[in-house]
Structure 1
Amino acid sequence: MKNTMARRGMRAFGSGLLSLLIAASIAGAQDFTDKPIRSLEIRYDGAKTVDESRIRNLMSVKAGHKFSAEKLDDDIRSLVESGLVDDVRMDGEEYGDGMKLIVEVTTRPSLAGVGFTGNSEFTSGKLAKESELKPGSPISDALIFEARKAIVKYYNGYGYPDVTITHTLQPTNRPGYSDLILNINEGEQNEVRHIVFRGNESVKTRVLKSEMKTKEKGLLSFMTKSGRIDVSKLQEDEERILDYYRNRGFLRVSSTGFKREADTKRGRVNLVMDINEGIQYKINQIAFAGDMKVFSEAELLQVLTLNPGESFSSKNMRKDKTTVRSYYGSRGYADASVVEDIQDAGPGMVNITYRVIEGRPYRVGRVTIEGNNKTKDKVIRREVPLKPGDNFNSVDVETSKKRIQGLNYFSNVVTETNPSVQDGYRDLRVIVDEKNTGQLSFGLGFSSIDSIVGYINVEESNFDITNPWSFRGGGQRFGLNLRLGAETQDFRLSLTEPWFLGRRLSFGGEVFYRGAQNLSDYYEQTNVGAGLFLRKPLTNRSYINASLRYEKIRVDVEDNVPADSLFQEIGGKFTRPALELSYTYDSRDALQTPRKGHKFETGITGILESLGGNSNSFIFNVSGSKFWNLWFDSILELAGSMDMVETSSGPTPIYDRQFLGGARNLRGFEYRDVGPRDPATGGVIGGDSAAYATVEWSFPLISSVRGALFYDGGFVNLDSWDFSFDNYHSDFGAGLRMNLPFGPIALDYGIPLQVPDARADKGGQFNFYIDYEF
């Protein structure tokens, strides 16, 4: 028995009907439902332009699986939506005690070459290079879209905002291959000289300009790319301007948008926007209407951002509508809708009525994952709190998307909810687009502490130790870092499992080596050891961390140290077993260049003789940082730390003492040059108590470069629990924050202000370092 069915055109009939058609067409008189698929064969109708392994990777159905029309439904979608396949047909045959599934595909042609018409400003060779099209690649819709987008962006970069591109495919004499012809309409060259607003009586022009992504051409345009016109971004700028007004009560603001007016200089234009502000409105009354059974009006009024007496704000109104929908969505009312009705209520006053249609509650049906050719299903599913049979929760759908995006394994994540074949259920479909999760970097660098340094970094954020030789797809994090510098040598090998024992519990370990000749002029230190840690999330923003770290430490005192120096007492070989417990809360909106939020950390570390250590010491730490986003995208940061060491078995070992100075705390002083000193040599010997604080204001200069002004202050005292300000040192300075292609770099120049220890005053200090935040 054999039955055949073409599938591509039937996708529009809906998932349930398509599944039934597949089952009926393939099964025919013979019911294959739940029969094992003993063989799965891929056949090609026409030229074979897509490798068979790639076709199989796009399918979830495999040999050995039971026949399921629903899974074939999903696979047909995956094949067609990949853009690599034009048509799919399914054949079913009896095969022993099961069935043989035959998948016949018509694949897209491969690229023979690329040609251009209409291009006079740039050569075809240059445009072909910008398109990044490679002969031999299947001509998918996504490939053509990315090529067109790249060329449009290239033209935009040279002041051609109106460029449009169409394409045609021309078959060649080579079977299965076609030429791609891109037809270009370049338009006129335009660059922005001035941005002008007319009618803006309530808002200053500079404020409106700051809301725009489009900028005027300036002296640094070759770096900042200012002056360029992107039509889509300019339309977004128009809406940003109007939304700025609406968020401040100007409900009826209107404009005809930006017009381009020719400037005296050829190729330049002025952007002019006429604004009719209207009057500023306040809210008189807010109410709810509709047949509401799940929540009362009083309950919903309590969660709103807008309140009577305040200025109208479209942003807050949208936020309130989302909040109300989320409240219903958390109870399973996936179709709940909220529509605002705004009515005048006298001069400068409006009433807002939110009309609610609750709909009906749903449960979760099927949860399907698509697009994960490397990443295991379980790695994605464990980030989805919704399981089949659960009460449907639209908030959890959004949470799932954010969690999966947060893995940083995928360039795009889409979550869709669709009607299920079961009445009263909603299916959840998660579609991911995988990206490269491994990084290999090596090269030479420079810092003010270490001079020249060579490094090799190997990182894989989607590692799988159980999957040789690929080692990918398990959601583990692997790192190998080697750094060789004039003053330091580092080696670190680490592995982390973020879902230990199937729970949201991170378990990891590392082995490390560190040789440091930059800690002091009077000794060198070498650390070698290993560590284990266990981290438990408490909330979305906080976690506790427990770790065990075992180190062998060697301290070598320099030969030229005088016999009466305190440094003579610190040398030797030591064992440092450390138990640490810490708590972290982090609400920052980004790791790099955070603009709001704060981070707080506190912890205690115990080094115990009972575990083989050379001392009984306890180290207490409290640190934190807070960020505010101010005018013109400037950022104010307040940060600081307090550390204290208590040792009950003699003096604190040199490797556990506290120091200040350098790029990470007091930038106006040399590295580790603030603290109690050795009377014989004048070198800093460190203390048992330390604290510092810093205030920094950064502001944008050009794209990817920010300026900074800062003030630092702190002290190191000899004894434990001594937080007196007698040894308070401070500095001020300025710097640059550069987000370069190879990493974020900071350059600071600090000048000492208060220096109670004159030996610490060595004039202004340059600090050059990699500006990573953690």
Structure 2
Amino acid sequence: MRRPSSCSFALLPVLIALFPFCLAEIVDSVRLHGNFTVSDDELLRIAGISVGTDLGNISLPEVEKRILASGHFESATVTKRYPSLTDTEYVVLLIQVQEKPKVKSKFMMMPILSGSDEYGLTYGARLSAIGLFGSRERVSFPLTWGGVREAAVEVESPRPVPGFGSFLAGASINRKENPHFEIGDLRKDFMAGARNRVGPLVYEVAAGWTDVDFGDLHDRFLSYGAHVALDTRQDANLPRDAVYLGFGWHRMALADMRPDFNLYQTDIRGYKGLWGQAILAAQVLYDKADGPLPDYERPFLGGASTLRGHEPGEFVGDNRVVSSVELRLPVTSPLAIYHAGFDAFWDSGAVFNHGQSLRDADFKHGVGAGVFFLIAGFGFKVDVAHDLNDSFRVHFSTGFRF
């Protein structure tokens, strides 16, 4: 058997010393992707990588951690490629990053324009942000002036609550003038709730605390309740061949140990397409209370939002029923980005106090016609109505009420 020569053992330390250089991976070039506001030089500085760097003692996951630790990026992926199948001494380093959006880029602003002749025209803006705190939540800051003056913060989080798809919370301060009593109504509201939608079925629960200044009256109350609706409407501006069946309940607990009230609302709507673009729309709205309500909470009747042909807020009571039938006749193309046309309507309604029955209520009526213009969620509508007695009245609103 042949024994190894002493020369072989002499070369062993040399081979061991050269072994790391045989495994060296020198960065020949670096390719960067996804850095739009962070410069290439800054990204390389953060990564601690440059052309000529030896990757033999550097872990690519460590490079990724350094990039993420800078706080500029949501994700980072670092990989290497060999320019040759035989020469593995030089590598091309690929760094793919996704920058975190700047805070100001998360915000968007939308105008607010709504109202009717009961409260007047309300205008303002809504500042909204999605993912402001990193969990896909929507935060909104509506600010309005005019008929309803309001400053609020609203949060909707997609984090599921058992049985619900999103969580809601908000706080607001708002002021408007009650059209019946002609008294200022100032409220501070705090609320929280949850909402879900399963196909056309929408349901939600909510609770809140309200502080009210109604003229010289100062009051506070806790409220909580639920609402469920079957909504098959596809077009919010001009629904067609659809129904809306809604039912809501909430309990109003007044401060200072006064009696509580249960309030119920039933809202039934139907929309049927006729010839051409013509639509026949109908609604029955019933608000019911099981006790005498404070004046600031009593529903009123009269005006574009309830009973046309009568003065805004002309009648008031603890309970209210409103019914309407409208024939809507759009004259613009169905493919147009806006809708314009004419409508004819008949409104009926009554208010009555606790202890009275619906059959004894004094129903009022209004009949008339109008024109409308709707575009991109905004609209303007003017109606001329007669009260079937002795007077005409012109009403305005920013769209159909149902």
What is the Cα deviation at residue 437 of structure 1? 8.4
Q: Which residue of 1 aligns with 2:300?
A: 659
What is the Cα deviation at residue 478 of structure 1? 2.3
| Pick aligned residue for 1:508 from 168, 185, 188 | 168
* Matching of residues 310-329 of structure 1 within 5 Å: none
Q: Which residue of 1 aligns with 2:343?
A: 708
What is the Cα deviation at residue 55 of structure 1? 12
1:550 counterpart letter in structure 2: W
Taking the aligned partners of 2:266 and 2:250, their CA distance within structure 1 comes to: 12
Taking the aligned partners of 2:106 and 2:35, their CA distance within structure 1 comes to: 24
Structure 1 contact 689–720 (Cα < 8 Å) conserved: no
Taking the aligned partners of 1:437 and 1:466, their CA distance within structure 2 comes to: 10
2:142 counterpart letter in structure 1: N
Work out the percentage of aligned pairs sharing the same amino acid: 16
Q: Which residue of 2 aligns with 1:631?
A: 275
2:310 counterpart letter in structure 1: F
| Pick aligned residue for 1:458 from 102, 118, 127 | 127
Structure 2 contact 309–386 (Cα < 8 Å) conserved: yes
What is the Cα deviation at residue 497 of structure 1? 1.1
Task: Establish whether residue 580 from structure 1 lines up as the match of residue 222 from structure 2.
Answer: no
Structure 2 contact 113–398 (Cα < 8 Å) conserved: no
Task: Establish whether residue 102 from structure 1 lines up as the match of residue 99 from structure 2.
Answer: no
Change in 2 beyond 3 A, CA 1:585/1:574: same
Taking the aligned partners of 1:588 and 1:641, their CA distance within structure 2 comes to: 18
Structure 1 contact 555–572 (Cα < 8 Å) conserved: yes
TM-score using structure 2 length: 0.70
Change in 2 beyond 3 A, CA 1:696/1:613: farther
| Pick aligned residue for 2:321 from 667, 691, 703 | 691
- Deviations along 1:502-541, whole A, 9 cap, x unmatched? 975221111111212243354222111211111234x311
* Matching of residues 530-679 of structure 1 within 5 Å: 530-537=190-197, 539-556=198-215, 571-609=216-254, 614-647=258-291, 651-674=292-315
Task: Establish whether residue 770 from structure 1 lines up as the match of residue 392 from structure 2.
Answer: no
Unaligned runs of 5+ in 1: 1-29, 31-37, 44-49, 57-61, 68-88, 94-98, 106-371, 376-435, 468-473, 557-570, 675-685, 756-760
Point out the structure with the larger helix share.
Answer: 1
Task: Establish whether residue 488 from structure 1 lines up as the match of residue 148 from structure 2.
Answer: yes
Structure 1 contact 550–578 (Cα < 8 Å) conserved: yes
Q: Which residue of 1 aligns with 2:81?
A: 91
| Pick aligned residue for 1:479 from 93, 115, 140 | 140
Moved more, 436-445 or 732-741: 436-445
Structure 1 contact 584–601 (Cα < 8 Å) conserved: yes
Q: Would you say how many aligned residue pairs link Structure 1 and Structure 2?
A: 329
* Matching of residues 140-151 of structure 1 within 5 Å: none
Q: Look up the SS of the partner of 1:53 in the other structure.
A: coil
Taking the aligned partners of 2:181 and 2:207, their CA distance within structure 1 comes to: 31
Taking the aligned partners of 2:142 and 2:385, their CA distance within structure 1 comes to: 31
Taking the aligned partners of 1:374 and 1:511, their CA distance within structure 2 comes to: 29
1:633 counterpart letter in structure 2: Q
Q: Which residue of 2 aligns with 1:729?
A: 364
1:621 counterpart letter in structure 2: Q
Taking the aligned partners of 2:113 and 2:232, their CA distance within structure 1 comes to: 34
What is the Cα deviation at residue 52 of structure 1? 4.1
2:331 counterpart letter in structure 1: L
Q: Which residue of 2 aligns with 1:497?
A: 157
- Deviations along 1:219-257, whole A, 9 cap, x unmatched? xxxxxxxxxxxxxxxxxxxxxxxxxxxxxxxxxxxxxxx
Taking the aligned partners of 1:708 and 1:373, their CA distance within structure 2 comes to: 52
Q: Which residue of 2 aligns with 1:746?
A: 381
- Deviations along 1:184-218, whole A, 9 cap, x unmatched? xxxxxxxxxxxxxxxxxxxxxxxxxxxxxxxxxxx
Unaligned runs of 5+ in 2: 1-22, 40-46, 48-59, 65-78, 84-89, 334-338
Q: Look up the SS of the partner of 1:549 in the other structure.
A: strand
What is the Cα deviation at residue 587 of structure 1? 0.9
Task: Establish whether residue 42 from structure 1 lines up as the match of residue 26 from structure 2.
Answer: no
Taking the aligned partners of 2:282 and 2:114, their CA distance within structure 1 comes to: 29
Q: Which residue of 2 aligns with 1:423?
A: none
Q: Look up the SS of the partner of 2:331 in the other structure.
A: strand
Taking the aligned partners of 2:166 and 2:158, their CA distance within structure 1 comes to: 4
What is the Cα deviation at residue 454 of structure 1? 4.2
Structure 1 contact 575–614 (Cα < 8 Å) conserved: no
What is the Cα deviation at residue 552 of structure 1? 0.5
Change in 2 beyond 3 A, CA 1:644/1:521: closer
- Deviations along 1:389-433, whole A, 9 cap, x unmatched? xxxxxxxxxxxxxxxxxxxxxxxxxxxxxxxxxxxxxxxxxxxxx
Change in 2 beyond 3 A, CA 1:573/1:615: farther
* Matching of residues 136-535 of structure 1 within 5 Å: 439-442=108-111, 448-451=117-120, 453-460=122-129, 463-467=130-134, 474-485=135-146, 487-500=147-160, 505-535=165-195
1:53 counterpart letter in structure 2: F
Point out the structure with the larger strand share.
Answer: 2
What is the Cα deviation at residue 617 of structure 1? 0.9
Structure 1 contact 488–518 (Cα < 8 Å) conserved: no
Structure 2 contact 193–207 (Cα < 8 Å) conserved: yes
| Pick aligned residue for 1:53 from 23, 36, 46 | 36
What is the Cα deviation at residue 452 of structure 1? 5.7
Taking the aligned partners of 1:580 and 1:101, their CA distance within structure 2 comes to: 62
TM-score using structure 1 length: 0.38
Structure 1 contact 448–766 (Cα < 8 Å) conserved: no
Larger relative CO (CA 8 A, sep 6+): 1 or 2? Answer: 2
What is the Cα deviation at residue 598 of structure 1? 0.9
1:593 counterpart letter in structure 2: L
Structure 2 contact 381–400 (Cα < 8 Å) conserved: no
What is the Cα deviation at residue 625 of structure 1? 0.9
Taking the aligned partners of 1:518 and 1:688, their CA distance within structure 2 comes to: 15
Change in 2 beyond 3 A, CA 1:619/1:66: same
Change in 2 beyond 3 A, CA 1:742/1:700: closer
Taking the aligned partners of 1:661 and 1:631, their CA distance within structure 2 comes to: 32
